[in-house]
């Protein structure tokens, strides 16, 4: 076997894995939408559909030991970081077998063992926490990096500015990833943000800053690869702006009066999953049949997660008191 | 035991805190200190003096004035293997970092189904008596006691401060360690052993035994209550002074036991009067120890105003020995 074929096969495997992860996020979220509509999933739910390339592109450069902090729209970050979808679905169902034993739900879904330091109900709150994880890695000389995912709504939160400044002066291995999905709830980023190009916010904290097409997983992955390499070499934080879009409302139930269907269609026609699928078809690394098989296996995995969640026990009411403190 | 006694010194409250931190940092390399002005000044009142020379720049971190940023960094570092001690200079500043304490540190373990631990210690100064006015004189520990998930330590003596801080640094939950700035130079209470020792959280301490009335205090009000007890003794009233030491967890049994013995209760709390520790203790005794009571519960708190600047006004605002004496006498004479 020639070396070029070896590289191709390695590259194919990498692309296939990214496609599988993006598709898993998409199918998971589509199913959550249904489960929520059927009131089997309660509470507040924010779906990541449309933004898959960001989480997957970034996390394709991470190991299980690396850290991520997430947002209220956190399911995609979990799946990209390798969190088990069965545990996730059980969590959304509020069951004892959930990743957080039914204590967190959608907005606080986490798996600290996999470095997933939590979705977060407070916009921008993950940024200082990511800085702390970066500080910890640097102090322990572990080589781990911390990725802070945040959205354009958090771009104007004080905590994010403080965190970016501290990461910069302490030269911490933190990658700030802006998911510029255009809207903070109903408020347009163009209205709410004083700068046209958000990447200047990173430059003003003296960190390398790039802006990439967040609907292109390969572009995101490439930018993240450079930022992660810099962080691991001890060269400090980076800022990546990913222009992206959420196809669904801010939350399930959002009437979306702040945009038109046509606005959404512009991005749907630029879909990150379709884009990668097309590219792989063109370079011969994925046949139609292979894609259908992949999709079927992802759908099966999601179906199994629902069966698992639905058949899992509820927590006992007495468990309400558990895990407030390590010791009383 | 004899040997231990020889090594006991009359340390000040602040020296005892510095010693506990220093000893634990020698023992545990995962402890780092961060806050404003900690490297050169050793913190504004010198709590960390000499730490930079002793422990190095990577364990003693000066922060920008970014409370949300550095308290949050403490939360993230605690969640990922360090044991940060964060200096939130004055508790009055907590609002700036409130989200990271209340929504993040306090809740992460619970929200994540127990799969995180946040061994974070936030040290912060509280209290009045120095004419520091409305934004540098509050107590506010009741705010944190209100929030499930944060342990709250409110020591009154050097001995207790050292032992309680040592415990804070050896357990795995977030702790707010409230340091009353009026007590910084106080050497009251038991002498402080040189070697490290730990005082269990949730154990109140009887600072003075008595039979006629129980006075529950914390931090500075313990000293005021002890003075009041002396005064009461000259008037033929025997007061027991119970120091809560930690308010989360709170030693409910010690409170109930003491009231059962004396039949009367006065609670002295320097925090604002609404929803404070005094009302909490009063509610405890009213609901679980009502039959022990021979008279209505007395409460002495600060007034329901922001802390004033002028010493005359501040004196009127704060609990005082005289107010405690009056309250205790009322409790005894209304029997």
For A65, nearest residue in chain B (alpha carbons) = B80
pLDDT digit string (tens) for B237-248? 999 999 999 999
Q: For A72-86, write each residue's pLDDT tens digit.
A: 999 999 999 999 999
Cross-chain Cβ contact A327/B171 below 8 Å? yes
Residue among A102, A121, A135 whose CB faces B77 most closely:
A135
Binary contact (B99, A125; C-beta < 8 A): yes
Query: How many Cβ atoms are within 10 Å of A38's Cβ, its own excluded?
Result: 8
Average pLDDT over residues A198-203: 96
Which of A44, A100, A132 has the highest number of chain B CBs within 10 A, making it the mutation to test binding with B?
A: A132
Instruction: Measure A102 CA to nearest chain B CA, in Å.
Output: 7
Q: Which residue in the set B66, B82, B113 is minimally distant from A162, CB to CB?
A: B66
Other beta carbons less than 10 A from residue A152's beta carbon: 23
- What residues of B are labeled active site? 136
Chain B residues touching A112 at Cβ < 8 A: 79, 112, 115-116
Do residue B110 and residue A327 have CB atoms under 8 angstroms apart?
Answer: no
Q: Is A104's CB within 8 Å of B108's CB?
A: no
The Cα A79–Cα A21 span in angstroms is 7
At B182 the three-state DSSP class reads helix
| 8 Å CB contact of A112 and B81 | no
**Nearest 10 degrees: Cα torsion A130, A134, A140, A142:** 100
Instruction: Note which residues in 135-174 of chain A have CB less than 8 A from chain B.
Output: 135-137, 139-140, 146, 158-159, 162-163, 165-166, 169-170
Q: Nearest CB to B100: which of A69, A108, A125?
A: A125
What is the average per-residue pLDDT within A96-121? 97
Q: How confident is the model at residue A169 (pLDDT cuts 50, 70, 90)?
A: very high
Q: What would the mean pLDDT of B66-84 be, rounded to a whole number? A: 98
**Is the pLDDT at B3 greater than 90, yes or no?**
no
**Yes or no, beta carbons of B116 and A110 under 8 Å apart:** yes
Helix (H, G, I), strand (E, B) or coil at B90: strand
Between vectors from CA B48 to CA B135 and to CA B169, what angle results, nearest 5°?
A: 90
pLDDT(B258) > 50: yes
Does the pLDDT at position B165 exceed 90? yes
Fold of B205-333: Rossmann fold (3.40.50)
Query: Helices in chain A by DSSP H: which ranges?
Result: 3-37, 52-59, 75-81, 85-92, 126-140, 158-169, 189-192, 199-203, 217-232, 261-268, 272-282, 288-311
Reduce the DSSP state of residue A298 to 3 states and report it: helix
Size of interface A-B (CB pairs under 8 A): 159
Q: Tell me the pairing of strands A174-180 and A238-243.
A: parallel
User: How high is the pLDDT of residue A6?
Assistant: 58
Dihedral of the alpha carbons of A33, A39, A45, A46, in degrees to the nearest 10: 20
| pLDDT at residue A1, rounded to an integer | 44
A78 touches chain B (CB under 8 A): no
Is it the case that residue B227 has pLDDT exceeding 70?
A: yes
Enclosing H/E stretch for B164: helix B158-168
CATH 3.40.50.970 segments of chain B: 2-183
SS3 A222: helix
Residue of chain B whose Cα is closest to the Cα of A105: B111
Distance from CA of B118 to the nearest CA of A (A): 9
pLDDT tens string B275-331 = 999 999 999 999 999 999 999 999 999 999 999 999 999 999 999 999 999 999 999
In chain B, CATH 3.40.50.920 covers 205-333
Tokens representing A301? Answer: 């995995």
CB contact under 8 A, A117 and B76: yes
Cα distance between residue B272 and residue B15, in whole Å: 29
3-class secondary structure per residue, B39-89: CCCCCCCCCCCCHHHHHCCCCEEECCCCHHHHHHHHHHHHHCCCEEEEEEE
**pLDDT of A5 over the 70 cut:** no
Task: Please name the helix (run of DSSP H) or strand (run of DSSP E) that holds residue A188, with its range, or none.
Answer: strand A187-188
C-alpha span between A113 and B70 (Å, rounded): 24
Whole-number Å distance between alpha carbons of B305 and B289 = 31
CB contact under 8 A, B111 and A103: yes
Q: How far is CA A283 from the centre of its chain?
A: 27
Instruction: Kindly list the residues from chain A whose CB atom is less than 8 angstroms away from the CB atom of residue B99.
Output: 122, 125, 159
- Flag whether pLDDT at A3 surpasses 60: no
CB < 8 Å to B116, chain A: 110, 112, 117-118
In this complex, do B80 and A137 lie within 8 Å of one another by their Cβ atoms? yes
Contact B80 A133 (CB under 8 A): yes
Question: Residue A65: pLDDT above 90?
Answer: yes
Classify domain B2-183 by CATH number: 3.40.50.970
pLDDT in tens, A299-310: 999 999 999 999
Q: What is the enclosing helix (H) or strand (E) of B206?
A: strand B205-208
Residues 6+ apart with CB under 8 A from A22: A52, A53, A56, A217, A272, A273, A276
| Confidence tier at A8 by pLDDT (50, 70, 90) | confident
Sign of CA dihedral B226, B230, B235, B236: positive
Looking at residue B335, its pLDDT comes to 64
Mutate to test the interface with B, among A129, A156, A172, A234 (most CBs of B within 10 A): A129
Q: Which domains, ranges and CATH numbers included, belong to chain A?
A: 42-313 (3.40.50.970)
Instruction: For residue range A216-252, list pLDDT tens digits in order.
Output: 999 999 999 999 999 999 999 999 999 999 999 999 9
CA atoms of B315 and A43, how far apart (whole Å)? 50
Instruction: Give chain A positions within 8 Å (CB) of B113.
Output: 98-104, 323
């Amino acid at each position: 076997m020639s070396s070029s074929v070896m590289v191709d096969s390695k590259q194919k495997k990498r692309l296939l894995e990214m496609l599988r992860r993006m598709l898993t996020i998409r199918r998971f979220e589509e199913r959550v939408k249904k489960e929520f509509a059927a009131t089997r999933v309660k509470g507040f739910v924010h779906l990541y559909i449309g933004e898959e390339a960001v989480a997957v592109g970034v996390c394709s450069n991470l190991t299980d030991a690396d850290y991520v902090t997430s947002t209220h729209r956190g399911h995609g970050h979990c799946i990209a970081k390798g969190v088990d979808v069965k545990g996730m679905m059980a969590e959304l169902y509020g069951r004892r077998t959930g990743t957080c034993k039914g204590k967190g739900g959608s907005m606080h879904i986490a798996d600290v063992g996999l470095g997933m330091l939590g979705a977060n109900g407070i916009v921008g709150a993950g940024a200082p926490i990511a800085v702390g994880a970066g500080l910890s890695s640097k102090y322990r000389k572990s080589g781990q990096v911390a990725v802070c995912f945040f959205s354009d709504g958090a771009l104007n939160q004080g905590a994010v500015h403080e965190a970016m400044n501290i990461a910069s002066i302490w030269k911490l291995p933190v990658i700030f990833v802006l998911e510029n999905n255009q809207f903070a709830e109903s408020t347009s980023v163009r209205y709410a943000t004083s700068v046209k190009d958000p990447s200047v916010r990173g430059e003003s904290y003296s960190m390398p800053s790039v802006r990439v097409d967040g609907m292109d997983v390969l572009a995101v992955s490439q930018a993240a690869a450079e930022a992660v390499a810099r962080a691991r070499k001890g060269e400090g934080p980076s800022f990546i702006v990913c222009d992206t879009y959420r196809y669904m409302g801010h939350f399930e139930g959002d009437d979306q009066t702040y945009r038109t269907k046509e606005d959404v269609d512009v991005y749907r026609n630029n879909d990150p999953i379709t884009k990668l699928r097309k590219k792989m078809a063109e370079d011969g690394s994925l046949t139609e049949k292979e894609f259908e098989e992949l999709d079927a296996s992802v759908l099966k995995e999601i179906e199994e997660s629902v069966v698992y969640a639905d058949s899992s026990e509820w927590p006992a009411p007495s468990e309400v008191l558990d895990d407030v403190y390590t010791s009383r | 035991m004899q040997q231990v006694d020889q090594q006991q010194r009359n340390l000040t409250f602040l020296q005892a805190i510095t010693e506990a931190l220093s000893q634990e940092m020698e023992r545990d390399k995962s402890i780092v200190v961060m806050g404003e002005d900690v490297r050169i000044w050793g913190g504004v009142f010198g709590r960390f003096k000499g730490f930079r020379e002793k422990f190095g720049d990577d364990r003693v971190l000066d922060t920008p004035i970014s409370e949300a940023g550095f308290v949050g960094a403490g939360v993230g570092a605690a969640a990922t293997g360090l044991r940060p001690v964060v200096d939130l200079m004055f508790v009055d500043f907590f609002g700036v970092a409130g989200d990271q304490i209340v929504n993040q540190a306090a809740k992460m373990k619970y929200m994540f189904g127990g799969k995180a631990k946040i061994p974070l210690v936030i040290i912060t100064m509280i209290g009045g008596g120095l004419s520091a006015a409305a934004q540098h004189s509050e107590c506010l520990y009741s705010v944190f006691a209100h929030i499930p998930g944060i342990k709250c330590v409110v020591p009154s003596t050097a001995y207790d401060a050292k032992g309680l801080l040592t415990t804070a640094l050896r357990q795995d939950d977030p702790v707010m360690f409230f340091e009353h700035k009026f007590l910084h130079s106080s050497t009251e209470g038991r002498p402080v052993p040189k070697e490290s020792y730990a005082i269990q959280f949730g154990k109140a301490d009887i600072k003075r035994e008595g039979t006629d009335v129980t006075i529950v205090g914390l931090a500075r009000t313990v000293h005021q209550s002890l003075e009041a007890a002396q005064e009461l003794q000259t008037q033929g009233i025997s007061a027991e002074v119970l120091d809560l030491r930690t308010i989360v967890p709170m030693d409910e049994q010690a409170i109930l036991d003491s009231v059962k013995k004396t039949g009367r209760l006065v609670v002295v709390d320097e925090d604002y009067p609404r929803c404070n520790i005094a009302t909490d203790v009063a509610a405890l005794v009213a609901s679980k120890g009502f039959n022990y009571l021979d008279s209505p519960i007395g409460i002495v708190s600060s007034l329901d105003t922001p802390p004033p600047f002028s010493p005359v006004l501040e004196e009127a605002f704060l609990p005082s020995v005289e107010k405690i004496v009056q309250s205790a006498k009322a409790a005894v004479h209304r029997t």
